[in-house]
Structures are given as structure tokens and as C-alpha cells.
Structure 1
């Protein structure tokens, strides 16, 4: 497992733990706001890791002469 994978998985674990904590309803308003801000930060970091992975895949496809990469349209009803 590479460091980037470990970092992404660690970030996701942190985010999941934060969501669980927030869903418990035991946080004060201030603690909830801080948790929300931390969740936004973790989400952005996860998105950066995913974007980096996508770029690596595109680069590998280009090296192998494969043409075309079309991201999934998650709003398409045919995509589950």
C-alpha cells in the first residue's frame, strides 16, 4: 500500500469518525461547528487525493495509448 493510499484511507476514517460523532447529537453548538469545519477540511483533502489519483490514471492511459476517459455522471439515473 502506498503512502497516498494510506493517507486517503486515514482521512476517510477520520471523516467517518467525525460524522458518527456529529450524528450522535451529543456535541454542543460550538463543538458541532468545529466538527463541521474539520469535516469540510477533511472532505477537501479527500477530494484532492481523488483528483490526484484520477490524473495518475489518465497519465497511465495516455502512456498505454488508450484514448478517452469520461467521468461518470452520477446524476444519470442509469448509474448506480
Structure 2
């Protein structure tokens, strides 16, 4: 049975996995070269937004790992600013 692609609303924040999957699909479509210039630019713009989403998710995960792996006895979890 074919794998169903998750439906992603462009106005909502997709999960890392959803964003990566959509980004891979966009790259494949762009590499085929069958899109018009306008469609290609729209796809490229969406790809940039998805890349930023993935980068932010990876940055947040890295921060969490650093906090959790801190070996100091008095280490306290520190809030991180999601917008940076």
C-alpha cells in the first residue's frame, strides 16, 4: 500500500518530519524541471520556509540535549528563546 503524504497547511507549523518530507518532495519536483518559472519560484520559496523550520527544530533539539547532558551538580534547565 502506498505511503500517504501528510497534509500540511501552509499557514501552520509542520513537524520536523513533515517539513523534511515536504522539502524532499519539493526538491524532487524542482529537479525534474517540469514546472513553470512561477511554479518553480513558489516551490523554492516554500522550500526556504521549510528549511528554516527544520533548522529551528534542530537548534531547539541541540539546546535541549546540551541542557540535559550538562554534568554540573547544580545545573538547572534554562529557558531558550524560540525566536532566535
**Please, what TM-score do these two structures have when normalized by structure 1?**
0.70
d(CA) in 2 for partners of 1:55 and 1:7? 17
1:12 aligns with 2:20: yes
Indicate which of 56, 65, 69 corresponds to 1:61.
69
d(CA) in 1 for partners of 2:66 and 2:48? 27
- What is the number of equivalent residue pairs in this alignment? 59
d(CA) in 1 for partners of 2:43 and 2:51? 12
Any residues of structure 2 matched to 1:1-80 within 5 Å, and which?
7-62=15-70, 65=71
Q: Relative to total residues, which structure has the larger helix share, 1 or 2?
A: 1
Following TM superposition, the consecutive aligned residue runs of length 4 or more in structure 1 with deviations greater than 4 angstroms are none
